[in-house]
Amino acid sequence: MVTLRGHFLLLIVVFLWLGIKDKLEGKNWLFWTAILTIPLTYVASQAGWVLTELGRQPWVIQDLMPTLSAVTKIDAASVQITFWLFAVTFTALLIAEIKIMLTQIKKGPNTGGH
Amino acid sequence: MFENLSLLALQQYWWVIVSLLGALLVFLMFVQGGQTLIFTLGKTELEKKMLINSMGRKWEFTFTTLVTFGGAFFASFPLFYATSFGGAYWVWMAILFAFVIQAVSYEFRSKPNNFLGQKTFEVFLFINGLLGTILIGTAVSTFFTGSQFFVTEFNFMEWKGAARGLEAVLNPHNVVLGLAVFFLARSLGLLYFINDIDNESIIPRAHKQLWFNALPFLFFFLLWLIWLLFLNGYAYDPITKVVYIEAYKYLNNIFQMPVNTIIMLLGIILVLYGLFIALFKQGTKGIWFTGLGTVLTVFALFILAGFNHTAFYPSNYDLQSSLSIENASSSHYTLTAMSYVSLMIPFVVAYIWYAWKAINIKKINAEEMEGEGHAY
C-alpha cells in the first residue's frame, strides 16, 4: 500500500510536469503505465483495509472493546443469506455496468450518450 | 460553547436534530411515492420518461437525507444503532436492499444494453417505493409500540423477536403507520408531479389519483394517531431511570408539551390545506403546504416519542432494557464535537435550497425529454 502510494505520487508528478511543459504527446509508455495503474488503486485500497482491520485485532476500540463483544448475536445462516443476496445482486449489476460501458465505448464520445 | 452544556441538554439537542432529519426524510419520500405511480400515471413511454425524470432529479436528495438521518441517529444514540440494526436485522436489510436497487435503476434504466432491461429497473423503482415506505413506517411505529429485546448491563443485546424485526408487521398498529406513510408518499408524489410536470395527460390523471391516495392516507394516519393516544406508553423516572408503563403516555405528552402539540396541529392543518387546494382548486402549489405540514407533523411525532421522559425505543420483553435519549446516547465529548459540526447545517440547507431551485427552474415537458440533454 505504501509502495503503491509512492508510485501514484510519482506518476502524478510526472504527468503534471510533462503536461506543464507540453511534452505529453507520443509518450505511449506513460499512458500505458497510467492504464495499468488503474487496478493498482483497488489493490492499494484493499491493502489499506486489510491492514486496518487485521491490525486492530483483537480490539474494536483499543483496550476498551474487544471484537468478540461487538459481534451481533445472530445465526450464521442469516449472514450467509445476506452475503449471497448481495453477491447475486451486485454480480448482475456488474454485468449490466460492463455491458453499458462497452456499448458506450463502441459508440464513441461524439454520438449520443450523456 | 457546546462543552458548557449538560449531557442532558446535548442529548435533547441531538434528538431535535434527529427528529428534524427524520421529518425531512418523510417529506422527501415523495420520490418513493412517485415511483410507485410510474405505471399508473404513465401510459406511454414518453409519459413514463417524464415521470421518472421528475423523480430522477430529486432521488439523491432523499437518499442523502436517509443516510444523514441514519448517520446522525447512530452517532448520537449508538445504543439504538447497536440494538435496532443488530437486532431488527432483517427489516433493516430489506430496507437497505430496497434502496440499493433504487440507485442503480435511475442510472441504468435508459442505457442501451443494460442486461436486465428497462422494465426490470422500472419494477425495481416500484419495489423501492413500496417496500421503502411501508417498512420504514412499520419500523418507526415500533418506537411507540415496542420491540422484543434485552440489553444487559454491559450493553450486550439479545433480540427476542421471532423474525429479526420482520415480526413488527404482525402488530396491526405498526402496519397502519406503514400504510399511512405509503399513501402519504404517493400523495406527496402526486402533488410534486402536479407542480413539476407540464403535460395535459399526466396532470388530470394525477389530480384523479390524489383522491385515491389522500383519503386512504388520512384514514390510516388518523387511525394510527388516535390508537396511539389510547396506548400505554413507556415512561422512565427522571431520577431513578426506572422504566414503567404509563397509561395514555402519548396523550399525556400531548398535554405536557403544548409547544410541540401546536407544531403538530399546525402541521396537520398545512397537510390538509395542501391537499385541499390540489383537490378542490386544481392548484399546483399543494406540495409546498403538504410538504411543510409533513415536516412539522413528523417532527412533532418524533419529539412525542423521545421527550418528556419517554423511552423512544421501548422493549416490551424487558422494560428496563428500553432505550431513552438519556441511556442510549454517546458521551458528552462526542456529542459536543458533533454539535460543533452541526453548525454547518445552515450552509448545507442553503446549498440544498439553491440546488433545488436551480433544478426546478423549468417544468418537465415532452420537448425536453425528446431533446439532447441528460435524461434518466
- The sign of the dihedral angle between the CA atoms of B209, B214, B219, B220 is positive
User: Which residues of chain A lie closer than 8 angstroms to B158, CB-CB?
Assistant: 73
Cell of residue B235, nine digits: 415512561
- Other CB atoms closer than 10 Å to residue B342's CB: what's the count? 17
Given phi > 0 = left and psi -120 to 50 = alpha, else beta, which region is B113?
left
Using the Cβ of B347 and the Cβ atoms of chain A, whether some distance falls under 8 Å is answered with no
pLDDT class of B37 with cuts at 50, 70, 90:
very high
Give the gap in angstroms from C-alpha A80 to the nearest C-alpha of chain B. 13
Nearest residue on chain B to A85, alpha-carbon basis? B97
Query: Percentage of chain B with pLDDT > 70?
Result: 100
CB contact under 8 Å between B157 and A69, yes or no, is no
- The sign of the dihedral angle between the CA atoms of B251, B255, B261, B262 is positive
∠ CA B110-B111-B112, rounded to 5°? 115
Query: Percentage of chain A with pLDDT > 70?
Result: 96
Residues in chain B: 376
User: Which residues of chain A lie closer than 8 angstroms to B374, CB-CB?
Assistant: 114
Using the Cβ of A34 and the Cβ atoms of chain B, whether some distance falls under 8 Å is answered with no
Which of A69, A100, A106 to substitute to test the interface with B, most B CBs within 10 Å? A100
Q: At B80, which helix (H) or strand (E)?
A: helix B78-80
As a whole number of angstroms, the distance between CA B206 and CA B200 comes to: 11
Its pTM stands at: 0.90
Q: What is this model's ipTM?
A: 0.81
Which of A71, A79, A93, A94 to substitute to test the interface with B, most B CBs within 10 Å? A93
As a whole number of angstroms, the distance between CA B26 and CA B189 comes to: 12
Is B85:B93 a contact under the CB 8 Å cutoff? Answer: no
Nearest residue on chain A to B115, alpha-carbon basis? A96
- Reference B121, options A97, A18, A17, A78; nearest CA is A97
Give the gap in angstroms from C-alpha A9 to the nearest C-alpha of chain B. 31
> What are phi and psi for residue B169, nearest 5 degrees?
-75, -10
Amino acid at position B134, single letter:
I
Average pLDDT over residues B104-117: 91
Pairing verdict, β B149-151 and B157-159: antiparallel
Nearest residue on chain B to A104, alpha-carbon basis? B112
Is B314:B282 a contact under the CB 8 Å cutoff? Answer: no
**B243-282 residue pLDDT tens:** 999 999 999 999 999 999 999 999 999 999 999 999 999 9
Q: What is the pLDDT of residue B99?
A: 95
Nearest residue on chain A to B105, alpha-carbon basis? A93
Say if residue B187's pLDDT is above 80: yes
Q: Select from B114, B159, B164 the Cβ nearest to the Cβ of A96.
A: B114
Q: What's chain B's average pLDDT?
A: 94
User: Which residues of chain B lie closer than 8 angstroms to A99, CB-CB?
Assistant: 113-115
Residues near B188 by beta carbon (within 8 Å), at least 6 away in sequence: B27, B29, B30, B33, B287, B290, B291, B294
Q: What is the pLDDT of residue B209?
A: 97
Say if residue B17's pLDDT is above 80: yes
Query: Between A and B, how many CB-CB pairs are < 8 A?
Result: 50
Average pLDDT over residues B149-154: 88
Using the Cβ of B150 and the Cβ atoms of chain A, whether some distance falls under 8 Å is answered with no
Burial class (CB in 10 A: 0-12, 13-18, 19+), B246: middle
Q: What is the pLDDT of residue A111?
A: 56
**B310-357 residue pLDDT tens:** 999 999 999 999 999 999 999 999 999 999 999 998 998 898 999 999
Average pLDDT over residues B186-214: 95
Given phi > 0 = left and psi -120 to 50 = alpha, else beta, which region is B362?
beta
Q: Where are the beta strands (DSSP E) in chain B?
A: 149-151, 157-159, 233-236, 243-246
As a whole number of angstroms, the distance between CA B308 and CA B299 comes to: 15
Say if residue A113's pLDDT is above 60: no
Cell of residue B276, nine digits: 385541499
Which of A65, A73, A88 to substitute to test the interface with B, most B CBs within 10 Å? A73
Q: What is the pLDDT of residue B338?
A: 96
As a whole number of angstroms, the distance between CA B32 and CA B181 comes to: 10
DSSP-derived 3-state class of residue A72: coil
Average pLDDT over residues B50-78: 94
User: Which residues of chain A lie closer than 8 angstroms to B156, CB-CB?
Assistant: 69, 73
Give the gap in angstroms from C-alpha A91 to the nearest C-alpha of chain B. 11
As a whole number of angstroms, the distance between CA A106 and CA B286 comes to: 46
Using the Cβ of B112 and the Cβ atoms of chain A, whether some distance falls under 8 Å is answered with yes
Nearest residue on chain A to B117, alpha-carbon basis? A96
Which of A80, A103, A107, A114 to substitute to test the interface with B, most B CBs within 10 Å? A114
Say which range, B78-92, B102-116, B310-324, B357-371, has the weakest mean pLDDT.
Answer: B357-371
Using the Cβ of A104 and the Cβ atoms of chain B, whether some distance falls under 8 Å is answered with yes
CB contact under 8 Å between A96 and B374, yes or no, is no
Is B210:B275 a contact under the CB 8 Å cutoff? Answer: yes
As a whole number of angstroms, the distance between CA B169 and CA B199 comes to: 39
Say if residue B72's pLDDT is above 70: yes
Q: What is the pLDDT of residue B319?
A: 95
Bridge partners (DSSP) of residue B157 are: B151
Say if residue B142's pLDDT is above 90: yes
- Reference A72, options B323, B319, B90, B311; nearest CA is B90
Q: What is the pLDDT of residue B367?
A: 83
As a whole number of angstroms, the distance between CA A19 and CA B179 comes to: 59
Say if residue A88's pLDDT is above 90: yes
